Structure 1
Amino acid sequence: MSESLLAPFLEFGFMRRALVGCLVLSVSAPPVGVFLMLRRMSLMSEAMSHAILPGVATGFIVAGLSLPAMTFGGLAAGLVVALLAAAVTRTTMVREDASLAAFYLIALAGGVLLISLRGSQLDLLHILFGNVLALDDGALVLLGGIATVTLVVMAAIFRPLVMECVDPLFLRTVSRAGGPVHFAFLGLVVMNLVGGFQALGTLLAVGLMLLPAVTARFWASDLTGLIPASILAAVVASLSGLALAYHLDLPAGPAIVLAAGGLYVLSLLIGPRGGLAHRLIRRRHLEA
């Protein structure tokens, strides 16, 4: 079984590049997803993954399927939407989730319209769903850079980021780091979504960020366990998803996300931290 699992990666260079790209994403995106989950901002990442679309579309219109142009455009669009949503929240009575939903819907519609006007249906599918099997050396370098920046910045802001998750009011009382840390974290979210876009497209980029993080919640109870467990879940999903895509002739991106979803469902059933099986066993024990 292990031979059939590893054979595609030993035989084909494009499979190795796809695996390396997904493994790099598995190191950087799930820790960000863990903090999104702890801050009850999980749906925000889905909105942000759509918000990068007009920037990606603009880069595509200007330079075609150019990695630097689409990356820069997506990063700029995501940051603009995040900053606008935060500004509206701080200056009006509209909550952050509502303002973000409004801006991301506008951005999503505008991005799809731009691609539809200037591109083909194939171009639209490529941008929306990605093509992880087509990752080149430039894309791998970009993903490696995003992972490096993510880990360094998270290490630098780790303590105030944790405090903001636990008690944001206390952080504002004892320090002025709350605002900068919040915007730095939003920047990390956008960066990892742009990195995920290179492999999984704008619609599925959030898959390797949130599903492993939620899966880890059934296996660990604190950050020292949640972050490693989320990374491990993403690595297993990447490896198994790519192998299934090769052997069953499936689209690679959706296969990876479905593998992550399968791990989530399995953890939901048998996970020791709140899994359904453990809850039923505990209830019967108490009833007895």
Structure 2
Amino acid sequence: MKILKQIFNIYTLIVISIYSVLLYIYFNHFDSSKLSDDNDKWGTFGDFFGGTLSPIIGILSIYLTYKIIYKQSEESDQNEFKNMFQILFQSLPEEKKEISINKLVGDKAILKLNSDFKLYFEINSKKDSNIPKNHQKNIENSFLSIKGDAKDSFGPFMKNLHNMLKFIDSYCADNRKSDYADLLRAQFNSHELLFIFYNAIGSTKHSKFKNRLIKFDFLKDIKDDNSIDPDLRNLFKVKQSKYPINFSVWKYHIRIEKNA
């Protein structure tokens, strides 16, 4: 409503300014410093203003109507975005609790999976006789190992996280995207962010997820983590790809990524 009020005030100011300019032009042209008692002159004066201002006011009215409709639609879209974001946001804690390996669940399971991933990667790297070593293949084999051990229990959690990032990327107002991404990032501690990092590089199929993490600098809190293998860091790079618009609310079509 504040924006619409500003638009209306600007519109009013423009109309008043045009009236003032036309009055000046009219009286200056006809050298009239006094009001006339002649009805004919008043008729001419009215015709001049009516003929000049009507088209201008008509154009301004059309423009004002367009801006009002556009702003209302924009505000409606952002309200829909906020509602859907909140729904996805609130589901994250429950999905994290579903992550399990052996008898460990939630946060403890994530710590175990991080440790196992690192161990599997070291083992696979030692077995790799290629020169240079095929780090991507070693990482993918390591990721498949922990995925199997956890029976893919972290799948829903990672898919939801990716969909939230896609949702922010595609439908959040440009000047609020970083705010929402930071709000989402603040929900994760350092070992959860490390687990997200492993998921991002765990398969070449996760490139869109990885690119969005980079775009929003989502893992900035673990940039200085010396425990991360340099070979793993080198694989955390942007691969150019077009982001399809594939997530939305009500008037949008929703498509969930098969791979987070």
* TM-score range normalised by the length of the shorter chain: under 0.3
- Which of the pair has the greater relative contact order for Cα pairs under 8 Å at 6+ separation? 1
Alignment TM-score, normalising by the size of structure 2: 0.25
Give the greater-gyration-radius structure (CA). 2
